[in-house]
Amino acid sequence: MQNDVDMMVDMGSVQSLKSVIDRVMTVEAVREIASAAIAVKRYQLRHGTSPPDLKALVPEFLAEVPRDPVDGHLLRYQKTSDSTFLLYSIGSDGVDNGGDASPLPGLKSFQWQRTRDWVWPQLATPQEIDFFRNRPPK
């Protein structure tokens, strides 16, 4: 009987530790992404275009290229136009979904850290704004 209790306590400790590690990883990813997004915006303001890659931000705007705390690789970045970009972490599932910002299965609320990849939010397009404004009320 005591072994069963010890095992349940150990399992609870493991789950608690995993929860703490997941929270720390999420906070660190948000910090890295936000710092990189600010640096990209500063680069845009100074040079009139988005940087070709995150390495272009060093050393003028960042001390080093930001890393994804999930897998240790560089944060994922793509210049999509002169004024927009895709910047993301692969997220808690550890799978690079190419910047997929759709919510994780089973989640109904939207938070950018609860999506397949953790993608830095961009301004809504005119089409997205029209869709939002014209959707039926709940």
For position 87, which CATH number holds?
A: 3.30.700
pLDDT for res 35: 97
Does pLDDT of 90 surpass 60? yes
C-alpha pair distances (Å), 130 with each of 16, 83, 127, 134: 43, 21, 5, 6
Percent of the chain residues past pLDDT 90, beyond the cut: 52
Q: Is the per-residue pLDDT at 34 higher than 90?
A: yes
Q: For the chain, what is the domain count?
A: 1
- Please give the residue that has the higher pLDDT: either 127 or 80: 80
pLDDT tens readout for residues 114-131: 788 999 988 877 877 887
Stated as kind and residue range, the H or E segment containing 89 is strand 85-89
Query: Residues near 132 by Cβ (< 8 Å), separated by ≥ 6?
Result: 124
| Cα dihedral sign, 27-92-63-53 | negative
Residue 18 belongs to what domain range? 2-134
Rounded distance, CA 25 to CA 14, Å? 16
